[in-house]
Amino acid sequence: MTDDRLIVALDVPDAIAGLQMATRLGDAVSFYKIGLGMLTGGGLALANELADEHGKRIFLDMKLFDIGATVEAAVQGLSQFGHDFLTVHGDPHVVRAAAQTKGDMKILAVTILTSLDRADLDASLIKSGEITDLVQERAGLAFMNGADGVIASPQEAALIRALPEAAGKLIVTPGVRPAGADLGDQKRVTTPAQAIENGADHVVVGRPIWANADPRAAAEAVLAELRLSDQ
């Protein structure tokens, strides 16, 4: 049985490369994240093909942000495809709008992008305070406004899991690295098993799998690590 706690980020250049990678991963991987880079290269068609022809679960990482009416319309359009997860920014008006028309999709809110530091938030006139406090506050707000879950760094997962509003909600964490893997541009990483221990329901892993010389073996190593941590 495949373990859908692992979501592979298919950040390859286009839909053809995405389908080739999914074929190499075969039945080892049951859940894929299709992001913005891929969405401009046939990503939605790839998502539909992976779901309809190959029975895969799909996470559309679109990080939507707009006026409520536009978000509602975009989410309504996407909901017809029956995919699993969709990201929106965690601002209350965006989350509320997405929740109106999501159908069976789960709406995951982005709290504060993990690539931003305090100086970036200052430059965007975001209120003062520690980023971790703001992340926790924005996660709570997103849940209260109808988000089914949040995207969080593995370190933030434990803080968010501790919120009363997080009961029954999903926490999905990118920024995980199997022990010994190249960090790339990810800074605040944990291993996949640690992320699950911190309260994550799913881990998103990209480059350590798709950029590996043997992607299937790399995916199986992550899955083995998750199984080991269950014991």
Give the binding site for ligand C5P (CB under 6 A).
9, 11, 35, 113-114, 151, 174-175, 184, 186, 204-207
As measured in angstroms, the least distance from the Cβ of 117 to ligand C5P is 13
Whether 187 is catalytic is no
CB of 38 to ligand C5P, least distance (A): 9
Catalytic hit among 33, 56, 63, 169: 63
Place of tokens 């960090």: 183
Query: Which residues have a Cβ under 8 Å from the Cβ of 177 and sit 6 or more positions away?
Result: 183, 186, 189, 190, 191, 205, 208
What's the min distance (Å) between Cβ of 114 and ligand C5P?
4
With CA atoms as reference, report the closest residue to 139 among 117, 165, 173. Answer: 165
Q: State how far the Cα of 40 lies from the Cα of 31, in Å rounded to an integer.
A: 20
Cα separation of 113 and 127, whole Å?
15
Closer to ligand C5P by Cβ: residue 35 or 140: 35
How many alpha carbons fall within 13 Å on the CB side of residue 147? 31
Least distance CB 189 / ligand C5P (angstroms): 9
Q: How far apart are the first and last CA of the chain?
A: 17
The residues assigned a catalytic role are: 63
